[in-house]
A and B are shown apart, each in its own frame.
Chain A
C-alpha cells in the first residue's frame, strides 16, 4: 500500500465548476501536509499547506482530518489555468516529503 494515495483522474471539468480532490495517508506520524501543483514538464510548486482547522486561499480550500488520515482540496470556479497535476504530500518526522501519485485536472472551455 502506498503511503500517500490519490485518485489519478483525470478530472475533466468545465470552466466555472467546483472540483474536489481527496487523498489518504497511511503514516499516522506524518507531521505536515501540503498540496503541490505540477504543470507539464515543470517542477512542483507549493499550492498550499494543509491544516486541521482548514485553510483557504482564494478559490482553493484545503482540509486535514487527522482521525481519518484524510486530506482534501477544493477548487471553486475552475479556470483554464488550473489545468495541472495536483500532488498530495505528507512530511514525516525527518522532514522528508512523501508524494502521492498526483491527480490530473483538465479544465475545458
Chain B
C-alpha cells in the first residue's frame, strides 16, 4: 500500500487564521480525498482532490472555506480558512492507487481552534 506523509500532525490555532495541511504520497495515486473526523464521530468526506483542476466538494463543504490543491499525482494540500472553534477536528487525507482496492489514510492532523 502507499505510504503517506501528512503534516502537521497537530496544531493549535487562533480563530480567524488559516491552516494548510499537506499530504505527500510515496508513489503516484489515482485518487486523493480529504476527510474530517469530528470528536467522537466517524469520517465525513470533504472533497475529492483532482489533479490540475478544482476539487469536487461534498454537500456542506465549499471551496472558500476548504481550498484544496493537487498539483501532481503525489501531493495535495487542504487549507482550513478563517477558522472557528467548530473547525476543531481531525483532518485526514486518503489515497487510492490504480489497480488496488484498498484505501490508505494519512496519520491525520489534529486541529484545535481557540
Take A43-B92, A95-B96, A96-B33 as given contacts and tell me if A101 and B42 are in contact as well, using a CB distance cutoff of 8 Å: yes
- Cβ contacts under 8 Å, A100 to chain B: 42
Contact B43 A42 (CB under 8 A): no
Tally of chain B residues near chain A (CB < 8 A): 22
- Cβ contacts under 8 Å, A49 to chain B: 101-102
B interface secondary structure, majority:
strand
Contact B107 A87 (CB under 8 A): no
Does residue A46 face the partner (Cβ distance < 8 Å to B)? Answer: yes
With A96-B48, A97-B33 already in contact, 18 other A-B pairs whose C-beta atoms are closer than 8 Å: A32-B101, A34-B103, A42-B108, A43-B105, A43-B106, A43-B107, A44-B92, A44-B105, A45-B105, A49-B101, A94-B48, A96-B33, A97-B45, A97-B103, A98-B45, A99-B42, A99-B44, A101-B41
Shortest CB distance A98–B (Å): 8
- Cβ contacts under 8 Å, B105 to chain A: 43-45
